[in-house]
Amino acid sequence: MTQRYPHNKLFEEILDPANRHNPYPLYAQLRETPISQQEDGTYVVSTYREIEALLYDPRISSDQRKSTRGPPLKFRVRQREPEGSLPFVFLDPPDHNRLRRVVMHQFTPERVEGMRDYVIPLVDELLDAQRNRSQLDIVDDFAHPLPVRVISKMLGLPLEDRSRFEVWVSALVRTLEPPQNVSGEAEVEQRASQAAMQMKEYLRGLVTIRRDRPGDDLISALVVSTSHEDAGQMNEQEILASLQLLTLAGYETTVNSITNGVLTLLRNLDVLARLQRNPDMVIRTVEEVLRYEPPVQYLTRTTLTDINIADVTIPKGATVVLLLASGNRDPARFPDPDHFDPDRIDNEHFGFGRGIHYCVGAPLARMETHIALNALVRRLVNPRLVADPPPYRELASLRGPQHLAVAFDSLSD
Amino acid sequence: MKIVVDLNRCLSYGQCVFAAPNVFRFRGEQSLEYDYNPADELRIQVERAAAACPVRAISIGKDEHDDLDLTHRKGDYNEQ
Amino acid sequence: MTIWISLTGRETITSSKSVTTSFVSIDRVVIVGASLAGLRAAEALRDDGFTGHLTLIGNEPWEPYDRPPLSKSVLAGWLPIDHTTLPQLRDIQAEWILGVAAVGLDRQNHQVHLADGRLVDFDRLLIATGTRARPWVNQEEAALDGVFTLRTREDSSRLSTRLASGPKHVLVIGGGFTGSEVASVCRELGLPVTLAERGPTPLVGALGQAAGTVFAKWQRQYGVDLRCNVTVMALEGDTQGRLRRARLSDGDVLEIDVAVVALGAIRNVEWLHDAKLAADTRGVACDASCRAFDEDGMVTDDIFVAGDVARWPNPLYNGMLLSVEHWGNAVEQAKTAAHNMVCVPSERRPHKYLPAFWSNQFGVNIKSVGLPTIADEIVLTQGTAEERRFVAVYGQKGRIVAALAVNAPLLLPAYQALIEARAPFPPELYAADGPLKLRPVSAGFLPHGHTTHSPGAASTGPGPSTPEVQPIGKDADMLADPRIPLGPKSL
């Protein structure tokens, strides 16, 4: 019998690490009220229809400096430098549009498709290293190193420096959590600000090198374009902020879509078997994983004016949490939502968001996840979960297992 | 194979262009144009495009579905 | 049956009753019109469980094909013409009669008369005959080599070949969506093109003068020789019957070798001449369940209408009979009509289509939701015309009735909700990329009949028996003749 909580305390429970492995019953309780004001004043939106409406609503802002609470931790740590620029994910139009457009001019279908020939052998290489073992940690041995290398290759980040990036990225990622989850906030802020500055310094150095000798990587492409066809559209601080964003997103999200995918398949062995028989099924399977266990569980926004929605008035400047993972399980939108069904029709999930901030990296993430899941399912003989539920990462927003131990009989070719 | 895109539903997210750049492309920044009759060799790319579209604007003609383990009729699904 | 309607307007059926209890026994369904609406209706009939005999009749010899690319990617030479065939989304097991026109309807005997003399029996009939291009008024001039209309794939194929051969100067007559798209393709191909529009701006019929002024500017920036408030008085040919010249009402004589007549569409209702249905140049009037009205205003039981040829009461516009030339309506209305044809009366559903259309021209994507043509005001709410990306909202008597998004399709869903809610105009949005102060202006729509292109969507009277609106204050013949200029109309 699931514990019931008062509605205005449900989000607090959802953030509690003890509930990380299965927040879905809590989401179901929340959905009884589409828009629920929490004790601390945050408005949590948990139903599909309302989440979708707000993601498209021009009165909703991604720039939380405009909220009555002021800029949250993740904003403050990036603005310590005098001209510290926020990444476009935290900005509204017109600045958001200007910056995203410049990035998209280089994050092209050709560039993404060009990564395929890097991803395929890399996936096999990571698996080959598991030969002669009987168990692997999907996260440490596979789902984490894969996207790290892929984004590094795409951006042109030297692989030998990735341990430095890991430190910076984890410090920054901690700031994505709402205040109540961050104990010792002052210390977290200090470390994250330092990480942000150090990372930007590093990236600045890289940008300078590439300006002199451009390669075929994305950093070079951005540096060259902002001197030529996109001149005047993105200054250096903005380039650094964009690169920092792409790195962070590359490091911290795809790991969860792969791991959540493996976990879900191992809990649904009939689907795994179908996937083994028919690798093309991975296309729909990944979409259903993105619905069922999205790597990004919620987004935070603020409002530019009062918004009347679902019989509630969200005041101007409020902090609004859009609980994507709950919308993905809304029975009013998805029949039998808690059933993992890759054959589902009309699977318009929130796995990559919606609206103008729709995930830039989605095509790359899909490619990596398709290839990764197909390879795992093809090559691990008799894979099975060692611990269910596995231990989870502390992060509530970017949700996934910390480790996923999978036992297997052998590794095929 | 034959496809059609509902260009009213289409919001120019562009995921299709990434999945099947020889079938879908943007003319100007937001105007999608596409080949209604892509070569059969591009079938998987088109399937990826249809699945990736956040608004499900792409429909694929029924001949192609029969080959894959993706055949699905409305009635089957609703029997649960 | 629960139907969930998403923000983007699609219905998802989340449960359905068993077919046997919700079904009427019908043996023969005939669909006249084998284009988009006809095909989607056929699929919907089979989806809804109809197992009887299905006949699709089309006057063109082709399987159903999509029309929008005919004035865009086909014309530009990018898409081969036979790549426009529409996919069939399911098996329909139909008898296809293609290349044969329907010439009459005998309601008493439930038969369609075909041009080859055949009689086709039906228990249920769907009229989906759509529209055809309005030809140039002067038949001799229209027959000149080099004069084109653009509606069918043959038209598009021929015109595309001609444009590819590098004509010296193209004249487009009519600045609606089709005309503007053709002019856009001409510029893409590097061809000199003049666009003559009787109204004060291009697209004034569908979008009004305020918006039309923006598009006029862009057309000129793209190198179109745009002539507004101007008509083409005559087309002249040489002794071999080839088009050579056009005389414009502004006194100019253009040396042209290609003229594209884009003067709007004529509903294909002539074949219903003796059927005593409520059918006239505005289309065939039907009720909210798509059942045709007869000329006395009585609804029929066995005749349904869908697509461009239909006029039906739209609840969002106070039950006014609406007539649109929208792709989205052809699809939706076909499905509604098909469902209603074969289900028991208690399970019929009303056709609740929110008008929506798109166009791609001059490097911009234009999308609209709602019915701009009934609006009195318009206001810019997001973006700017200078950056070629904006949203504008239309209001009628203080309520939002439509929205226009240019190069900003992602912004449109929010406005759809406002339109459906009949939210107050102007809307209070405080959008981050909106103007500091909203400044509504007159939308600038012309009285009925003043433009020489289709408005694409029109409110056509409150009831099936409402007579056709006579243009006010002008001789009807004058307005109907696209060669006669009207003089400048300012806001």
Task: Walk along chain A (413 residues) in steps of 10 and give the mean pLDDT of each run.
Answer: 85 93 96 95 97 97 94 86 82 95 96 97 97 96 97 95 93 81 80 92 96 96 94 93 94 96 98 97 98 97 95 96 98 98 95 97 98 98 96 94 97 93
Query: Tens digits of per-residue pLDDT, B23-78?
Result: 999 998 899 999 999 999 999 999 999 999 999 999 999 874 444 333 333 333 33
| Binding partners of C (≥3 Cβ pairs within 8 A) | A, B
State whether C191 and C270 are in the same domain.
no
State whether C302 and C248 are in the same domain.
no
Compute the nearest-CA separation of A194 from chain B (Å): 36
Residue C68 sits at the chain B interface (C-beta within 8 Å): yes
Q: Whole-angstrom Cα distance, residue A388 to residue A403? A: 11
Residues on chain A touching B80 (C-beta within 8 angstroms): 335-336, 339
Residues on chain B touching A278 (C-beta within 8 angstroms): 68-69
State whether C200 and C247 are in the same domain.
yes
Q: Quick check: C417 and C411 in contact, CB under 8 A?
A: no
Q: Which of C264, C290, C316 is the last residue of a domain?
A: C264
State whether C158 and C227 are in the same domain.
yes
State whether C143 and C196 are in the same domain.
yes
Residues on chain C touching B5 (C-beta within 8 angstroms): none
Query: Tens digits of per-residue pLDDT, C304-357?
Result: 999 999 999 988 777 789 999 999 999 999 999 999 999 998 999 999 899 999
pLDDT at C471: 56
State whether C119 and C167 are in the same domain.
no
Residue C488 within any structural domain of the chain: no
Q: Could you give the strand order of the β-sheet that contains C457-459, starting from the edge strand earlier in sequence?
A: C279-280, C283-285, C310-314, C320-324, C457-459
Please give the C-alpha separations between residue C174 and each of A17, C19, C217, C260, in angstroms, as whole numbers. Answer: 65, 49, 17, 9
For residue C491, is pLDDT > 50? no
Q: Whole-angstrom Cα distance, residue C7 to residue C434? A: 22
Domain that holds residue C339: 28-69+83-132+266-347
The architecture of the domain spanning B3-63 is 2-Layer Sandwich (3.30)
Q: State whether C88 and B62 contact (CB < 8 Å).
A: yes
Residue C209 within any structural domain of the chain: yes
Q: Which of C347, C368, C391 is the last residue of a domain?
A: C347
Residue C467 within any structural domain of the chain: no
pLDDT at C466: 77
The amino acid sitting at A405 is A
Residues on chain B touching C82 (C-beta within 8 angstroms): 37
Angle between the N-to-C axes of helices A282-292 and A254-267, in degrees from 0 to 180, rounded to the nearest 10: 100
Residue C186 within any structural domain of the chain: yes
Closest-CA residue of A relative to B77 is A344
Q: How many CB atoms within 10 Å of residue A394?
A: 14
Q: State whether C69 and B36 contact (CB < 8 Å).
A: yes
Q: Whole-angstrom Cα distance, residue C356 to residue C329? A: 8
Residues on chain A touching C431 (C-beta within 8 angstroms): 58-59, 93, 304
Q: State whether C414 and A92 contact (CB < 8 Å).
A: no
Q: Whole-angstrom Cα distance, residue A247 to residue A249? A: 5
State whether C324 and C239 are in the same domain.
no
The secondary structure element, H or E, covering residue C418 is: helix C412-420
Q: State whether A56 and C414 contact (CB < 8 Å).
A: yes
Query: Tens digits of per-residue pLDDT, A78-109?
Result: 877 666 689 999 999 999 999 999 999 999 99
Residue C477 within any structural domain of the chain: no
Tokens of C65: 């094909």
| Binding partners of B (≥3 Cβ pairs within 8 A) | A, C
Q: Whole-angstrom Cα distance, residue A388 to residue A193? A: 36
State whether C126 and C272 are in the same domain.
yes
pLDDT at A27: 97
Compute the nearest-CA separation of B58 from chain C (Å): 11
Nearest to B28 among C8, C86, C363 (CB): C363
Query: Tens digits of per-residue pLDDT, C80-99?
Result: 999 999 999 999 999 999 99
pLDDT at A90: 95
pLDDT at C23: 60
Residue C53 within any structural domain of the chain: yes
Number of independent structural domains in chain C: 3
Compute the nearest-CA separation of B80 from chain C (Å): 9
Residue C469 within any structural domain of the chain: no
Q: State whether A358 and B68 contact (CB < 8 Å).
A: no
Q: Whole-angstrom Cα distance, residue A11 to residue B80? A: 32
State whether C270 and C127 are in the same domain.
yes
Rounded average pLDDT over C460-478: 70
Q: Tell me which range, B66-80, C171-185, C460-474, is most confidently predicted by mean pLDDT.
A: C171-185
pLDDT range class, residue C370, cuts 50, 70, 90: very high
pLDDT range class, residue C450, cuts 50, 70, 90: confident
First-last CA distance in chain A? 45
Q: Quick check: C371 and C401 in contact, CB under 8 A?
A: yes
State whether C167 and C189 are in the same domain.
yes
Q: For C160, phi and psi rounded to 5 degrees?
A: -60, -45
Compute the nearest-CA separation of C412 from chain A (Å): 8
**Which CATH number covers residue C274?**
3.50.50.60
Residues on chain C touching A304 (C-beta within 8 angstroms): 430-432
Q: Which of C264, C299, C331 is the last residue of a domain?
A: C264
State whether C205 and C290 are in the same domain.
no
For residue B3, is pLDDT > 80? yes
ipTM of the complex, rounded to two decimals: 0.94
Query: Tens digits of per-residue pLDDT, C221-238?
Result: 999 999 999 999 999 999
pLDDT at C4: 42
